[in-house]
């Protein structure tokens, strides 16, 4: 039997009002009440733990990666300013690359007792400017004297076509043109392997580069994704090198920070 509320027009069934009240109570329990209802507490708690774990892991990973020379937009600008100062071309293709090899403007990088070359690096691109090769020879010999291990070269000269192909596969790669183009295109830059180095070896290379960077002879970056030391070498290195009767080692003390000229916003991108 359905009763009606007195004075209502049209009549409202009491059972309808009761149903609405029950529906409201259900919504309140599901939405407002603590998530202990229907076993939701475990699911929500597990989700919160996953979020906290993700933040903690990222923070730990960031804390563990604390390089002296962070990749930055300003660093790329400085590298290109040096290329412009030297009036060097950005090598467009293999024909231009071969012409520079023939003229002696690019010289080969050869493996030695102290230097290893990444086997996958195309032999046609194991070339660089003479002063950059001098730098590679000097740092590899110093590294070998200290640790009796080879340092590894991962990359040297590239052409614009190679850089464009690299960017198609990796959008974080440096551009092939413009003010922040990869300095590999001028043959003055090399990448040295970081992966596999001990903490002591990493600090040795960082101090070595810190010293040369302070003299304005190199512009280094430590790349996280490819785990390498990206080092652009100025032609001033050759003149400075000739003044050294014994090649100067990096300072023995731990540098507190990179020189002001290299401190900038992190790009976290390969070259």
Residues in contact with 228: Cβ distance below 8 Å, sequence separation at least 6, in sequence order: 154, 155, 191, 192, 193, 194, 195, 222
Mean pLDDT of 129-149: 98
- What the block records as the tokens of 12 is 């409202």
User: Per residue in 19-71, pLDDT tens?
Assistant: 455 555 554 444 444 444 444 444 445 555 554 454 454 444 444 557 799 98
Task: Write down the pLDDT at residue 245.
Answer: 63
Interatomic CA distance for residues 94 and 61, integer angstroms = 40
| pLDDT above 70 coverage of the chain, percent | 63
User: Per-residue pLDDT averaged across 194-214, rounded?
Assistant: 96
**What is the pLDDT averaged over residues 136-147?**
98
* Helix (H) / strand (E) containing 138: helix 130-147
Give the start-end residues of each E strand in 62-138.
Answer: 107-108, 115-117, 127-128
Residue 160 has pLDDT above 90, yes or no: yes
pTM of the model: 0.69
The domains located in the chain, with CATH, are 14-62 (no CATH), 68-262 (3.30.1380)
Per-residue pLDDT for 110 more than 70? yes
């Amino acid at each position: 039997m359905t009763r009606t509320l007195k004075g209502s027009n049209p009549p409202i069934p009491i059972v309808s009002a009761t149903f609405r009240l029950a529906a409201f109570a259900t919504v309140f329990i599901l939405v407002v009440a603590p998530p202990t209802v229907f076993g939701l507490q475990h699911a929500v708690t597990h989700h919160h733990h996953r979020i906290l774990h993700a933040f903690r892991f990222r923070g730990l990973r960031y804390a563990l990666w604390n390089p002296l020379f962070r990749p930055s937009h300003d660093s790329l600008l400085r590298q290109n300013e040096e290329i412009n100062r030297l009036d060097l071309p950005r090598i467009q293709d293999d024909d231009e690359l071969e012409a520079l090899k023939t003229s002696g403007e690019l010289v080969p990088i050869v493996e030695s007792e102290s230097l290893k070359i990444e086997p996958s690096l195309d032999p046609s691109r194991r070339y660089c400017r003479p002063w950059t090769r001098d730098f590679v020879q000097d740092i590899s010999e110093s590294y070998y004297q200290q640790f009796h291990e080879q340092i590894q070269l991962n990359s040297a000269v590239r052409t614009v076509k190679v850089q464009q192909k690299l960017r198609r596969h990796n959008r974080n790669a440096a551009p092939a043109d413009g003010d922040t183009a990869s300095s590999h295109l001028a043959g003055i830059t090399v990448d040295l392997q970081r992966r596999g180095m001990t903490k002591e070896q990493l600090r040795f290379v960082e101090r070595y580069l810190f010293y040369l960077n302070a003299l304005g002879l190199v512009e280094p970056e430590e790349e996280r994704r490819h785990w390498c030391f990206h080092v652009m070498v100025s032609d001033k290195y050759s003149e400075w090198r000739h003044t050294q009767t014994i090649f100067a080692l990096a300072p023995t003390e731990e540098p507190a920070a990179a020189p002001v000229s290299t401190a900038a916003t992190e790009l976290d991108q390969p070259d």
